[in-house]
Amino acid sequence: MIDPWWPLAALAFVQLGDGVLCIQPVSFIRKCLVDVRFPQRFWWLLPVLKFAAAAGLVVGIWFTPLAILTSAALTCYFVIALAAHVHARDFGRNLFVNCTGMLLASAATLTFVLIAG
């Protein structure tokens, strides 16, 4: 078991909430997806990925390899999201607050798991 467990639980809680907001994307998420030109036919994947990440982080509290895999996957996800924002020249709030913040949180969680695990 990873101790302390709360960094994984906190990131899982955020991913769960984000997944709920992506089921029928709320306005700021919809705007973000449109701004980076993410194809609408793939929007349904976002809540699936976010719920899977939340589950992987929670189970990862007891199974360290899954915590490493999930936090690494989230870090990669947000690196790709950051690249999409830069490519679309979307340098506003979505990039600097949402995307960069989640990238830092995911990378910090990955670092924590690698050290604590």
Task: Residue 42: give the domain boundaries.
Answer: 6-116
Q: Tokens representing 87?
A: 């490519």
pTM for the full predicted model: 0.91
Reported as a single tens digit per residue, the pLDDT across 28-54 is 899 989 999 999 999 999 999 999 999
Q: State the pLDDT at residue 53.
A: 98
How large a percentage of the chain has pLDDT more than 70? 100
Going 13 to 106 to 24 to 46, the CA torsion angle's sign is negative
Residue 93 lies in a domain: yes
- Flag whether 41 is in a domain: yes
Q: How many Å apart are CA 4 and CA 113, to the nearest integer?
A: 10
Would you call 59 exposed, middle or buried from its count of C-beta atoms within 10 A (0-12, 13-18, 19+)? middle
Query: pLDDT tens for residues 62-84?
Result: 999 999 999 999 999 999 999 99
Share of the chain above pLDDT 90, in %: 81
User: Is residue 98 a part of any domain in this protein?
Assistant: yes
Q: Count the domains in the chain.
A: 1
Establish if 1 belongs to a structural domain.
no
Judged by DSSP in three states, 71 sits in helix
